[in-house]
Protein backbone atom coordinates (compact mmCIF):
# COMPACT_ATOMS: atom_id res chain seq x y z
CA UNK A 1 0.00 0.00 0.00
CA UNK A 2 1.03 3.61 0.24
CA UNK A 3 0.82 5.20 -3.19
CA UNK A 4 -2.24 5.45 -5.37
CA UNK A 5 -2.04 2.79 -8.05
CA UNK A 6 -3.53 2.54 -11.49
CA UNK A 7 -6.30 0.38 -10.05
CA UNK A 8 -6.99 2.89 -7.33
CA UNK A 9 -6.59 6.19 -9.18
CA UNK A 10 -3.12 7.11 -10.24
CA UNK A 11 -4.77 9.67 -12.45
CA UNK A 12 -5.77 11.36 -9.20
CA UNK A 13 -2.17 12.30 -8.54
CA UNK A 14 -1.29 12.98 -12.15
CA UNK A 15 -4.78 13.73 -13.44
CA UNK A 16 -4.04 17.18 -14.70
CA UNK A 17 -0.84 15.98 -16.31
CA UNK A 18 -2.81 13.23 -17.97
CA UNK A 19 -5.34 15.69 -19.38
CA UNK A 20 -3.39 18.87 -19.89
CA UNK A 21 0.02 17.32 -20.48
CA UNK A 22 -0.93 14.68 -23.03
CA UNK A 23 -1.84 17.22 -25.68
CA UNK A 24 1.30 19.18 -24.90
CA UNK A 25 3.51 16.13 -25.27
CA UNK A 26 1.82 15.13 -28.51
CA UNK A 27 2.35 18.65 -29.82
CA UNK A 28 6.05 18.38 -28.99
CA UNK A 29 6.32 15.01 -30.67
CA UNK A 30 7.17 13.43 -27.34
CA UNK A 31 6.59 9.84 -26.36
CA UNK A 32 5.06 8.78 -23.04
CA UNK A 33 8.44 9.01 -21.30
CA UNK A 34 9.21 12.48 -22.65
CA UNK A 35 11.71 11.49 -25.36
CA UNK A 36 11.55 12.91 -28.88
CA UNK A 37 11.99 11.28 -32.25
CA UNK A 38 15.26 11.77 -34.14
CA UNK A 39 13.36 13.42 -36.98
CA UNK A 40 11.86 16.04 -34.67
CA UNK A 41 15.21 16.66 -32.97
CA UNK A 42 16.82 17.40 -36.33
CA UNK A 43 13.92 19.62 -37.38
CA UNK A 44 14.06 21.64 -34.15
CA UNK A 45 17.82 22.04 -34.50
CA UNK A 46 17.73 23.38 -38.05
CA UNK A 47 14.78 25.65 -37.29
CA UNK A 48 16.57 27.22 -34.35
CA UNK A 49 19.81 27.72 -36.29
CA UNK A 50 18.06 29.46 -39.17
CA UNK A 51 15.94 31.67 -36.91
CA UNK A 52 18.73 32.95 -34.63
CA UNK A 53 19.23 36.28 -36.34
CA UNK A 54 20.45 39.36 -34.46
CA UNK A 55 21.64 37.19 -31.58
CA UNK A 56 24.71 38.42 -29.66
CA UNK A 57 25.85 36.18 -26.82
CA UNK A 58 27.74 39.06 -25.24
CA UNK A 59 24.66 41.29 -25.16
CA UNK A 60 22.01 39.94 -22.73
CA UNK A 61 19.46 42.45 -24.06
CA UNK A 62 19.28 40.37 -27.24
CA UNK A 63 18.43 37.09 -25.51
CA UNK A 64 17.32 37.60 -21.89
CA UNK A 65 13.64 36.79 -21.28
CA UNK A 66 11.73 39.75 -19.92
CA UNK A 67 10.22 37.46 -17.27
CA UNK A 68 13.66 36.64 -15.92
CA UNK A 69 13.95 39.98 -14.14
CA UNK A 70 12.82 38.79 -10.72
CA UNK A 71 12.90 41.61 -8.20
CA UNK A 72 11.60 40.10 -4.96
CA UNK A 73 14.98 39.09 -3.53
CA UNK A 74 18.36 40.75 -3.12
CA UNK A 75 20.02 38.57 -5.75
CA UNK A 76 17.05 38.97 -8.11
CA UNK A 77 16.13 35.28 -8.13
CA UNK A 78 12.88 33.69 -6.89
CA UNK A 79 12.37 33.69 -3.11
CA UNK A 80 14.16 30.66 -1.60
CA UNK A 81 12.08 27.92 0.04
CA UNK A 82 8.82 29.56 -1.00
CA UNK A 83 5.86 27.12 -0.59
CA UNK A 84 4.00 28.84 -3.43
CA UNK A 85 6.62 27.44 -5.82
CA UNK A 86 5.07 24.01 -5.24
CA UNK A 87 2.50 24.85 -7.89
CA UNK A 88 5.27 24.59 -10.49
CA UNK A 89 6.52 21.13 -9.53
CA UNK A 90 5.31 17.74 -10.70
CA UNK A 91 2.94 16.09 -8.17
CA UNK A 92 5.35 13.22 -7.49
CA UNK A 93 8.08 15.70 -6.57
CA UNK A 94 5.72 17.72 -4.40
CA UNK A 95 4.80 14.54 -2.56
CA UNK A 96 8.44 13.66 -1.96
CA UNK A 97 9.08 17.13 -0.52
CA UNK A 98 6.08 16.97 1.78
CA UNK A 99 6.46 13.50 3.25
CA UNK A 100 10.17 14.03 3.88
CA UNK A 101 9.19 17.26 5.63
CA UNK A 102 6.68 15.31 7.74
CA UNK A 103 9.35 12.80 8.74
CA UNK A 104 11.58 15.55 10.10
CA UNK A 105 11.46 15.62 13.88
CA UNK A 106 10.24 12.02 14.09
CA UNK A 107 12.25 9.14 15.49
CA UNK A 108 11.63 5.45 16.14
CA UNK A 109 12.69 3.56 19.22
CA UNK A 110 12.46 0.05 20.63
CA UNK A 111 11.56 -0.39 24.27
CA UNK A 112 12.88 -3.74 25.47
CA UNK A 113 11.66 -5.81 28.40
CA UNK A 114 12.03 -9.44 29.32
CA UNK A 115 15.10 -11.63 28.95
CA UNK A 116 13.44 -13.85 26.32
CA UNK A 117 12.10 -10.94 24.25
CA UNK A 118 8.53 -12.18 24.67
CA UNK A 119 7.31 -9.87 27.43
CA UNK A 120 4.61 -7.34 26.59
CA UNK A 121 6.94 -4.56 27.61
CA UNK A 122 8.66 -4.99 24.23
CA UNK A 123 7.28 -2.04 22.32
CA UNK A 124 7.80 0.19 19.30
CA UNK A 125 7.68 3.93 19.94
CA UNK A 126 7.18 6.81 17.54
CA UNK A 127 8.57 10.02 19.02
CA UNK A 128 8.54 13.66 18.04
CA UNK A 129 10.81 16.54 18.96
CA UNK A 130 8.76 19.72 18.88
CA UNK A 131 9.74 23.35 18.60
CA UNK A 132 12.18 24.40 21.33
CA UNK A 133 11.92 20.94 22.88
CA UNK A 134 15.05 19.34 24.30
CA UNK A 135 13.70 15.80 24.64
CA UNK A 136 11.31 13.83 22.40
CA UNK A 137 7.67 13.17 23.22
CA UNK A 138 6.09 9.78 22.49
CA UNK A 139 3.25 10.06 19.97
CA UNK A 140 2.39 6.38 19.97
CA UNK A 141 3.51 3.24 21.77
CA UNK A 142 2.66 -0.17 20.32
CA UNK A 143 3.23 -2.97 22.83
CA UNK A 144 4.00 -6.26 21.14
CA UNK A 145 1.61 -9.09 22.07
CA UNK A 146 3.01 -12.38 23.31
CA UNK A 147 3.11 -15.57 21.28
CA UNK A 148 0.26 -16.95 23.39
CA UNK A 149 -1.88 -13.91 22.59
CA UNK A 150 -1.34 -14.36 18.87
CA UNK A 151 -2.27 -18.05 19.18
CA UNK A 152 -5.46 -17.08 21.01
CA UNK A 153 -6.34 -14.81 18.08
CA UNK A 154 -6.19 -17.74 15.64
CA UNK A 155 -9.73 -18.58 16.72
CA UNK A 156 -10.94 -15.39 15.07
CA UNK A 157 -8.77 -15.92 11.99
CA UNK A 158 -10.32 -19.36 11.40
CA UNK A 159 -13.83 -18.14 12.22
CA UNK A 160 -13.70 -15.14 9.89
CA UNK A 161 -12.42 -17.29 7.00
CA UNK A 162 -16.01 -18.48 6.47
CA UNK A 163 -16.76 -15.04 4.99
CA UNK A 164 -14.15 -15.32 2.23
CA UNK A 165 -16.50 -16.15 -0.62
CA UNK A 166 -18.74 -13.19 0.12
CA UNK A 167 -15.90 -10.73 0.71
CA UNK A 168 -13.53 -11.90 -2.06
CA UNK A 169 -14.42 -9.04 -4.49
CA UNK A 170 -13.71 -6.47 -1.77
CA UNK A 171 -10.51 -8.18 -0.67
CA UNK A 172 -9.12 -8.26 -4.20
CA UNK A 173 -10.08 -4.67 -5.05
CA UNK A 174 -8.62 -3.40 -1.77
CA UNK A 175 -5.12 -4.77 -2.35
CA UNK A 176 -4.15 -1.28 -3.52
CA UNK A 177 -5.25 1.98 -1.83
CA UNK A 178 -9.02 2.10 -1.66
CA UNK A 179 -9.54 5.29 -3.66
CA UNK A 180 -12.60 3.95 -5.46
CA UNK A 181 -14.27 3.33 -2.09
CA UNK A 182 -13.32 6.75 -0.71
CA UNK A 183 -14.54 8.37 -3.93
CA UNK A 184 -18.01 6.95 -3.38
CA UNK A 185 -18.25 8.72 -0.03
CA UNK A 186 -16.19 11.88 -0.53
CA UNK A 187 -17.09 12.61 -4.18
CA UNK A 188 -13.47 12.65 -5.33
CA UNK A 189 -12.55 13.17 -8.98
CA UNK A 190 -9.26 13.60 -10.88
CA UNK A 191 -10.81 16.60 -12.64
CA UNK A 192 -12.63 18.27 -9.75
CA UNK A 193 -10.40 17.33 -6.80
CA UNK A 194 -6.88 16.63 -8.14
CA UNK A 195 -5.15 18.22 -5.14
CA UNK A 196 -7.27 16.21 -2.69
CA UNK A 197 -6.22 12.99 -4.42
CA UNK A 198 -2.64 14.21 -4.39
CA UNK A 199 -2.87 14.91 -0.66
CA UNK A 200 -4.25 11.41 -0.04
CA UNK A 201 -1.42 9.86 -2.07
CA UNK A 202 1.20 11.89 -0.21
CA UNK A 203 -0.16 11.07 3.23
CA UNK A 204 -0.52 7.39 2.37
CA UNK A 205 3.16 7.30 1.47
CA UNK A 206 4.03 8.97 4.76
CA UNK A 207 1.84 6.56 6.74
CA UNK A 208 3.36 3.59 4.92
CA UNK A 209 6.89 4.67 5.82
CA UNK A 210 6.00 5.04 9.49
CA UNK A 211 4.06 1.78 9.59
CA UNK A 212 6.82 -0.24 7.98
CA UNK A 213 9.41 1.06 10.42
CA UNK A 214 7.23 0.09 13.39
CA UNK A 215 6.50 -3.32 11.85
CA UNK A 216 10.22 -3.92 11.57
CA UNK A 217 10.78 -3.19 15.24
CA UNK A 218 7.97 -5.47 16.40
CA UNK A 219 8.62 -8.41 14.00
CA UNK A 220 5.19 -10.04 14.38
CA UNK A 221 4.65 -13.23 12.30
CA UNK A 222 1.59 -13.60 10.07
CA UNK A 223 -1.24 -16.09 10.74
CA UNK A 224 0.06 -18.56 8.14
CA UNK A 225 3.30 -18.79 10.12
CA UNK A 226 1.32 -20.18 13.06
CA UNK A 227 -0.70 -22.67 11.02
CA UNK A 228 -0.67 -23.85 7.40
CA UNK A 229 -4.43 -24.44 7.76
CA UNK A 230 -5.01 -20.67 7.39
CA UNK A 231 -4.35 -20.84 3.63
CA UNK A 232 -4.85 -17.15 2.76
CA UNK A 233 -6.70 -16.34 -0.45
CA UNK A 234 -4.18 -13.63 -1.35
CA UNK A 235 -0.40 -13.55 -1.22
CA UNK A 236 0.82 -12.99 2.34
CA UNK A 237 2.71 -9.66 2.40
CA UNK A 238 6.47 -9.90 2.86
CA UNK A 239 6.63 -7.85 6.06
CA UNK A 240 5.39 -8.00 9.62
CA UNK A 241 1.77 -8.41 10.69
CA UNK A 242 1.32 -5.78 13.42
CA UNK A 243 0.27 -3.04 12.99
CA UNK A 244 -1.94 -3.63 9.95
CA UNK A 245 -1.02 -1.21 7.18
CA UNK A 246 -4.50 -1.37 5.66
CA UNK A 247 -6.12 -0.60 9.01
CA UNK A 248 -3.67 2.22 9.72
CA UNK A 249 -4.16 3.89 6.36
CA UNK A 250 -7.94 3.43 6.20
CA UNK A 251 -8.61 4.93 9.64
CA UNK A 252 -5.95 7.59 9.02
CA UNK A 253 -7.58 8.75 5.78
CA UNK A 254 -11.01 8.68 7.44
CA UNK A 255 -9.78 11.14 10.07
CA UNK A 256 -8.00 13.31 7.51
CA UNK A 257 -11.04 13.58 5.21
CA UNK A 258 -13.30 14.44 8.14
CA UNK A 259 -10.91 17.19 9.24
CA UNK A 260 -10.33 18.47 5.71
CA UNK A 261 -13.97 18.73 4.70
CA UNK A 262 -15.65 19.25 8.05
CA UNK A 263 -17.00 15.77 8.77
CA UNK A 264 -20.68 15.24 9.47
CA UNK A 265 -21.18 18.83 10.64
CA UNK A 266 -21.56 20.26 7.12
CA UNK A 267 -22.61 17.15 5.24
CA UNK A 268 -19.70 17.20 2.79
CA UNK A 269 -18.03 14.09 4.09
CA UNK A 270 -19.95 11.48 6.00
CA UNK A 271 -17.47 10.77 8.76
CA UNK A 272 -19.40 7.83 10.12
CA UNK A 273 -19.44 6.20 6.67
CA UNK A 274 -15.68 6.65 6.34
CA UNK A 275 -15.22 5.08 9.77
CA UNK A 276 -17.42 2.10 8.89
CA UNK A 277 -15.54 1.66 5.62
CA UNK A 278 -12.19 1.68 7.44
CA UNK A 279 -13.46 -0.98 9.83
CA UNK A 280 -14.61 -3.14 6.91
CA UNK A 281 -11.29 -2.75 5.08
CA UNK A 282 -9.46 -3.84 8.21
CA UNK A 283 -11.82 -6.79 8.71
CA UNK A 284 -11.30 -7.95 5.14
CA UNK A 285 -7.60 -8.45 5.80
CA UNK A 286 -8.44 -10.81 8.67
CA UNK A 287 -11.00 -12.63 6.52
CA UNK A 288 -8.39 -13.02 3.78
CA UNK A 289 -6.12 -14.76 6.28
CA UNK A 290 -3.21 -12.31 6.36
CA UNK A 291 -3.90 -10.49 9.64
CA UNK A 292 -5.06 -10.95 13.23
CA UNK A 293 -7.87 -8.75 14.62
CA UNK A 294 -5.40 -7.14 17.02
CA UNK A 295 -3.26 -6.07 14.02
CA UNK A 296 -6.25 -3.95 13.02
CA UNK A 297 -6.57 -2.60 16.55
CA UNK A 298 -2.92 -1.55 16.56
CA UNK A 299 -3.46 0.11 13.19
CA UNK A 300 -6.41 2.05 14.59
CA UNK A 301 -4.28 3.36 17.45
CA UNK A 302 -1.43 4.30 15.13
CA UNK A 303 -3.88 6.05 12.79
CA UNK A 304 -5.16 8.21 15.65
CA UNK A 305 -1.62 9.31 16.50
CA UNK A 306 -0.66 10.01 12.87
CA UNK A 307 -3.86 11.94 12.17
CA UNK A 308 -3.40 14.16 15.21
CA UNK A 309 0.20 14.82 14.20
CA UNK A 310 -0.48 15.51 10.51
CA UNK A 311 -3.42 17.81 11.21
CA UNK A 312 -1.16 19.78 13.53
CA UNK A 313 1.55 20.00 10.87
CA UNK A 314 -1.00 21.17 8.29
CA UNK A 315 -2.88 23.73 10.36
CA UNK A 316 -0.46 24.67 13.13
CA UNK A 317 -1.34 25.86 16.61
CA UNK A 318 -1.79 22.38 18.07
CA UNK A 319 0.02 20.55 20.81
CA UNK A 320 0.59 16.89 21.52
CA UNK A 321 -1.49 16.23 24.63
CA UNK A 322 -1.79 12.43 24.66
CA UNK A 323 0.33 9.39 23.89
CA UNK A 324 -1.69 6.77 22.02
CA UNK A 325 -0.92 3.31 23.45
CA UNK A 326 -1.86 -0.10 22.04
CA UNK A 327 -1.88 -3.09 24.37
CA UNK A 328 -3.38 -6.47 23.54
CA UNK A 329 -4.54 -7.41 27.05
CA UNK A 330 -8.26 -7.27 26.21
CA UNK A 331 -8.56 -8.13 22.56
CA UNK A 332 -6.07 -11.00 22.63
CA UNK A 333 -8.31 -13.31 24.64
CA UNK A 334 -10.06 -14.40 21.45
CA UNK A 335 -12.02 -11.16 21.14
CA UNK A 336 -12.69 -9.53 17.79
CA UNK A 337 -12.07 -5.95 16.69
CA UNK A 338 -14.99 -3.61 17.39
CA UNK A 339 -13.59 -0.02 17.42
CA UNK A 340 -17.09 1.46 17.39
CA UNK A 341 -17.68 0.00 20.86
CA UNK A 342 -16.05 2.10 23.56
CA UNK A 343 -15.90 -0.86 25.92
CA UNK A 344 -14.05 -2.92 23.30
CA UNK A 345 -11.75 -0.04 22.39
CA UNK A 346 -10.83 0.57 26.01
CA UNK A 347 -9.46 -2.96 26.19
CA UNK A 348 -6.64 -2.24 23.77
CA UNK A 349 -6.37 1.55 23.40
CA UNK A 350 -4.98 3.74 26.16
CA UNK A 351 -4.39 7.48 25.99
CA UNK A 352 -1.75 8.72 28.36
CA UNK A 353 -1.94 12.49 29.03
CA UNK A 354 1.23 14.48 28.42
CA UNK A 355 1.88 17.42 30.69
CA UNK A 356 3.26 20.45 28.88
CA UNK A 357 3.03 18.73 25.50
CA UNK A 358 5.14 20.12 22.64
CA UNK A 359 3.77 22.37 19.94
CA UNK A 360 3.46 20.69 16.55
CA UNK A 361 5.43 22.80 14.11
CA UNK A 362 3.44 23.84 11.06
CA UNK A 363 4.76 22.55 7.74
CA UNK A 364 4.38 25.28 5.12
CA UNK A 365 4.76 22.66 2.38
CA UNK A 366 1.98 20.45 3.73
CA UNK A 367 -0.17 23.52 4.47
CA UNK A 368 0.05 24.58 0.81
CA UNK A 369 -1.31 21.24 -0.43
CA UNK A 370 -3.81 20.96 2.44
CA UNK A 371 -5.30 24.39 1.67
CA UNK A 372 -5.39 23.63 -2.05
CA UNK A 373 -7.28 20.41 -1.31
CA UNK A 374 -9.68 22.10 1.11
CA UNK A 375 -10.56 24.77 -1.45
CA UNK A 376 -11.70 22.09 -3.90
CA UNK A 377 -14.65 21.31 -1.66
CA UNK A 378 -15.79 24.93 -1.42
CA UNK A 379 -18.67 26.28 -3.46
The confidence score (pLDDT) of residue 72 equals: 60
Given this model, what pLDDT does residue 251 score? Answer: 94
Query: Of 370, 373, 327, 353, which Cα lies nearest the Cα of 149?
Result: 327
pLDDT at 328: 80
pLDDT at 209: 94
Cis status, amide bond into 243, omega within 30 of 0: yes
Is 114 a domain residue?
A: yes
C-alpha dihedral, 249 to 254 to 258 to 264, nearest 10°: 180
Q: How far apart are CA 105 and CA 86, in angstroms?
A: 22
Neighbouring-strand partners of residue 137:
128
Number of folded domains that form the chain: 1
276 within domain boundaries: yes
Q: What is the pLDDT of residue 201?
A: 94
Is residue 304 one of the residues assigned to a domain?
yes
In a domain, 54, yes or no: no
Beta strands 322-326; 137-143: pairing state: parallel
Using CA atoms, how far residue 296 sits from 92, 183, 282, 378, in Å, is 29, 23, 6, 34
pLDDT at residue 340 in the model:
67
**Could you tell me if residue 37 is inside a domain?**
no
CATH number for position 272: 1.20.144.10
Residue 72 domain flag: no
pTM of the shown model: 0.83
Classify burial at 330, counting beta carbons within 10 Å of its beta carbon; exposed 0-12, middle 13-18, buried 19 or more.
middle
Q: In what order do the strands lie in the sheet with 322-326?
A: 106-111, 123-128, 137-143, 322-326, 349-353
pLDDT, one tens digit for every residue, the chain (379 residues): 554 543 444 444 444 444 444 444 444 555 544 567 889 999 999 998 888 777 777 887 777 776 666 666 556 677 888 888 898 889 999 999 998 899 988 999 998 765 555 554 589 999 998 767 778 889 999 999 989 889 989 999 999 999 999 999 999 999 988 999 999 888 899 999 999 999 999 999 999 999 999 999 999 999 999 999 999 999 999 999 999 999 999 999 999 998 888 755 554 457 788 999 999 999 999 999 999 999 999 999 999 999 999 999 998 877 778 888 998 876 655 566 666 665 666 666 777 777 666 678 889 999 999 999 999 876 6
Task: Give the integer Cα–Cα distance in Å for 275 and 250.
Answer: 8
Interacting residues of 347 by C-beta distance below 8 A, sequence separation 6+: 329, 330, 331, 335
Q: Is 96 inside a domain boundary?
A: yes
Residue 49 pLDDT: 84
Q: Is residue 318 part of a domain?
A: yes
Q: Is residue 324 within 8 Å of residue 354, measured between CB atoms?
A: no
Domain carrying residue 310: 89-375
Give the per-residue pLDDT at 9.
44
pLDDT score at 223: 96
Amino acid sequence: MGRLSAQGTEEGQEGQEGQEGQEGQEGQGASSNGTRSQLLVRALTTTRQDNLTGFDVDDPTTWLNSGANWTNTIDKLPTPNDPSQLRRWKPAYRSALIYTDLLSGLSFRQEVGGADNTAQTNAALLEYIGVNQSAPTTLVKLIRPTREQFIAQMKQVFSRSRQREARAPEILTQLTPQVAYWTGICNLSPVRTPRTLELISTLLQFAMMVTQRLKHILVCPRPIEYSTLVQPIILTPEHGSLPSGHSTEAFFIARIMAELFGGDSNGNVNESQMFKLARRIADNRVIAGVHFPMDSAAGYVLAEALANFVIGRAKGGRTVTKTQVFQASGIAAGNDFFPEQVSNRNEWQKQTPISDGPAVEKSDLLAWLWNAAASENAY
